Structure 1
Amino acid sequence: MKKTAGRSRFTAIETLYRLQKSHTFVSRIIDRVASENDLNSQDRHLVMNICYGVLRNRDYLDYLMARLCRQPVRKMKPFIYHALSVGLYQLFCLDRIPASAAVNETVNGVKMARLSRPLQGFVNGVLRESLRQRNHLPAPDGVDDTGKPFLNHPQWLTNRWLRRFGRKTMQAVCLANNREPVLCLRLARGISVDHYRHILKTAGIDSLPGEYAPDSVILSHYHGAITEVPGFRKGLFQVQDQSAQLAVGLLGPFRERERILDCCAGVGGKTILASVLSAENSRIIALEPSRLRFRQLQENIERMGEQKRIVVYNTALQDFFRSSRLLFDKILVDAPCSGTGVVGRQPDIRWNRKENDLVVNQTRQLQILEAAAARVRPRGCIVYATCSLEEEENEMVINTFIARNQAFQLTDAKTYLPTEAHCLMRGPYFFPLPSQRVDGFFAARLVRVS
């Protein structure tokens, strides 16, 4: 395919346009549209940067459009709305792209959609007018005409956080979610933080040791492909936020010859860490019903060299239990949830979720937790975890479960965390809120006492 001016911007606009109609994962749409337009890896990365940035700054970009356009934002043609979002994001939120290139490439993206010349001229005019008014328009971290900051989250969600956490914390969470998150690595067994940071320094990559998880390294300013980070193919690390790493530690203390189950394994980050932390003669079983994630789970386990210690099944928990009567010493329930703790890392989540989803999720979460509980040995433990900040999916699930299952007790998670992470507790729960250092997370440790 011949190179066409504006192809990457067209891909970004088209991705956001399709996202509005389908409400699927934005990463999947980016992959599909980028393949259709034959983008190289560098242009794909630019598209992802733009799309994620637009989603993290939607309220701010809508405000700019309202100031610059006579036509109400809600009455714009969807493709033109997304084109203006892409253009304004480059002009006001990125400093690596020259203004002239941002305008011209965005207009060329509209041309690729074969929209009329008047619409092309409209986009061009609005973007150039924004440059003329730049000194009179607020920055992304500024305030609107009423003095309120741009939260860039749906109101139902900010209202919930306001009631639960207070205004200051709610705004801090939103601000953290609106920034590009850092890349956190969890090092493989036998790889020290100092040694790996030396490898990164030799490659010209800045890094910091993790603040809370002992085997973590932070790459604050890395913007390339993860496969190009030194040691990826050799299995020296896996991508895993400090919150997720710490949650796996709640399965401790680890003893000889244990049988451990990860019943919602996903792509295997927590499964692999459970294998690393457990005794050499313990056995890890991981379940993942999705075929796509199951393939990624297998690839990650092999890349990290843990394939001899982990047995994987492409099945759901209830189906596995129909064919197996195994009991377990430890079970990790990383339950499907709304994901409101990771909307900084996955910004499309905030716009795709509805408040009614929380009660629906709770029913499914309780079903999984109670099914897992039936297979825990006496004095065994369950770690129930989500990447949600919502009570319906967290404390309410635990309270309902304990009321129904008198054989289980909630234990204080602090005992199983490093001292540095004790500040991430909320009562007996491991409950970090989103920040520039960690993702939002929730974990509870339950022990079968009889």
Structure 2
Amino acid sequence: MTLPSNPITPRAVAVEVLCLWATTHNSIDLLFRTAIEHLADIDRGLVKNLVYGVLRQKEYLDHIIRTYSKHPLRKMKPRTLMTLRIGVYQLLFLSRVPESAAVNATVNTLKAAGQPAWLIGFANGILRTVARSRATLPTAEQMAQTDPPVLNHPAWLIERWQTQFGTEKARTICRCNNTEPLLSLRVNTRRTSRSALKDLMAKTGIDAQKGFFSPLSLTIEFFPGSITSLPGYDLGHFQVQDEAAQLATLLVGPLRSRCRILDGCAGLGGKTSHLAEILPPDGTLVAIEPDARRYRLLRENLHRLGHNEPVLPVRTDLRSYAATRPQPFDVILIDAPCSGTGVIRRQPDIRWNRLPEDLAQYQQTQVHLLEIATSLLKPGGALVYVTCSLEPEENQEVIRLFQERCPHFAVEDATTLLPDAARKLVDAAGFFRPNPGDGLDGFFAARLIDRRNL
């Protein structure tokens, strides 16, 4: 990433991150992490607020800009449009930022980037007009009630959710996606307890509350610093993980002595480390991850949490691993690559990066992964399929297609495997299906039992 010449201000970094996202549509999380490496915690917090806030409110911000700009937004260069979005976002959403800073410091990013005087004046004029008009402008909440509503999601996604959930529930999901979620932690019970970690947080002035659904969860409403600065992080006392992801892992069920578990799509190790915590002392856990960066972070997370011993990370893909003909597994977890439409509130760029035709491609991969997993499973074993998607093509349809090809697999009701508070998140078919309207990330999880030899 090319950043402005020193001094690098948080607003300048935010503009560059958003411009790079607009031209590459790479993951905003990755772009953000790369950009803030050398910034202080307080500056990182502002950059994140600006970048993620603009993506959450993009459609509303564009409505405001369009009101005062004679120049069409579609003809603006990315830097101009992103600068205006950042300026308007500060004026309308960040009450602690002084008006002078929201306007002047934002316009100064154009000066630092060597933009022409007329463009600087154009941006300055729009931001000052918005600042003067703030009291009379419709709020984002009011615009969400207009016809058609401004929900800050692409029309195709809203239409899908209205069909699946109904109009009101779809709008609730959109509103939840447009707000910053709570920071959710999963307590590492191998090293501490939920009450002990809560007390540790309190001693440093951090108000951590017990989660709503998961018995291992603590939530923090506001923490402006980096995750690594939270008390207990270096000691491996917790893993950042939404309650929905914590609950989905529980579908592996009670694990028997000497069981063999496979995490077929380990990623950064959120669910892998949870499996390691509930693994019997004589059990075996193999974690598969082909990507070099994610594999490195997987190993680092396992080391920090103290799970080096029971876990065998393997840098390869599931098909290649299956070709080595390992000893069969009792339980296999497939946390499949997906569209991610259930985690839009945490990764707001997903809504703007996805297209309807992406779903068929994801589905093909997901069914393929399940089919490979069957070759690694013991007869009578359990196969747990998980996505962070709300889309039926990646969830119920994947299970239907898989069962057509492998009819000896039956869905087991997830209700009995979850805490009482979470059982209402299971649908009539036995699938675990929370959505952002429940206060959780959107997830889908199914437990399938191989009925051969039973």
2:288–2:314 contact (8 Å) kept in structure 1: yes
How far apart, CA to CA, are the structure 2 residues paired with 1:179 and 1:436?
14
2:144–2:151 contact (8 Å) kept in structure 1: no
C-alpha displacement of 1:135: 1.5
1:363-374 paired onto structure 2 within 5 Å:
363-374=364-375
How far apart, CA to CA, are the structure 1 residues paired with 2:130 and 2:106?
14
Write the letter of the residue equivalent to 2:435: L
How far apart, CA to CA, are the structure 2 residues paired with 1:33 and 1:188?
30
Pick from 444, 447, 452: which aligns with 1:445? 447
1:151-170 paired onto structure 2 within 5 Å:
151-170=151-170
How far apart, CA to CA, are the structure 1 residues paired with 2:261 and 2:117?
62
Measured against aligned partners, the alpha-carbon deviations of 1:304-338 in whole angstroms (never above 9, x if no partner) come to 00110000001100011112332000000000000
Unaligned runs of 5+ in 2: none
1:365-444 paired onto structure 2 within 5 Å:
365-427=366-428, 428-435=430-437, 437-444=439-446
How far apart, CA to CA, are the structure 2 residues paired with 1:354 and 1:56?
18
How far apart, CA to CA, are the structure 2 residues paired with 1:27 and 1:444?
28
C-alpha displacement of 1:28: 2.1
C-alpha displacement of 1:2: 11
Pick from 23, 26, 36: which aligns with 2:25? 23
1:127-276 paired onto structure 2 within 5 Å:
127-143=127-143, 146-190=146-190, 191-276=192-277
TM-score normalised over the length of structure 1:
0.96
Please, which moves more after superposition, 135-144 or 19-28?
135-144
**Partner of residue 109, structure 1:** 109
1:182–1:436 contact (8 Å) kept in structure 2: no
1:266–1:294 contact (8 Å) kept in structure 2: yes
**Partner of residue 320, structure 1:** 321
Give the direction of change, closer, same or farther, for the CA distance of 1:159–1:69 in structure 2 (3 Å limit): same
1:386–1:441 contact (8 Å) kept in structure 2: yes
Matched residue of 2:382: which SS? strand
Matched residue of 2:111: which SS? helix
How far apart, CA to CA, are the structure 1 residues paired with 2:302 and 2:6?
40
Matched residue of 2:303: which SS? helix
Does 2:10 match 1:8? yes
Matched residue of 1:355: which SS? coil
Matched residue of 1:158: which SS? helix
C-alpha displacement of 1:5: 6.4
1:345-364 paired onto structure 2 within 5 Å:
345-364=346-365
How far apart, CA to CA, are the structure 2 residues paired with 1:148 and 1:97?
31
How far apart, CA to CA, are the structure 1 residues paired with 2:114 and 2:33?
22
How far apart, CA to CA, are the structure 2 residues paired with 1:187 and 1:29?
28
C-alpha displacement of 1:71: 1.6
Matched residue of 2:341: which SS? coil
| Number of matched pairs | 448
Matched residue of 1:369: which SS? helix
How far apart, CA to CA, are the structure 1 residues paired with 2:145 and 2:450?
56
Unaligned runs of 5+ in 1: none
Does 2:90 match 1:90? yes
1:341–1:388 contact (8 Å) kept in structure 2: yes
Give the direction of change, closer, same or farther, for the CA distance of 1:145–1:248 in structure 2 (3 Å limit): closer
Matched residue of 1:430: which SS? coil
C-alpha displacement of 1:74: 1.3
2:287–2:314 contact (8 Å) kept in structure 1: yes
How far apart, CA to CA, are the structure 2 residues paired with 1:166 and 1:430?
19
1:118-129 paired onto structure 2 within 5 Å:
118-129=118-129
How far apart, CA to CA, are the structure 1 residues paired with 2:167 and 2:324?
50
C-alpha displacement of 1:192: 2.1
C-alpha displacement of 1:154: 0.7
Report % sequence identity: 42
1:188–1:235 contact (8 Å) kept in structure 2: yes
How far apart, CA to CA, are the structure 1 residues paired with 2:400 and 2:320?
26
1:181–1:436 contact (8 Å) kept in structure 2: no
Measured against aligned partners, the alpha-carbon deviations of 1:241-282 in whole angstroms (never above 9, x if no partner) come to 111111111001211000000000001010111111121111
C-alpha displacement of 1:223: 2.0
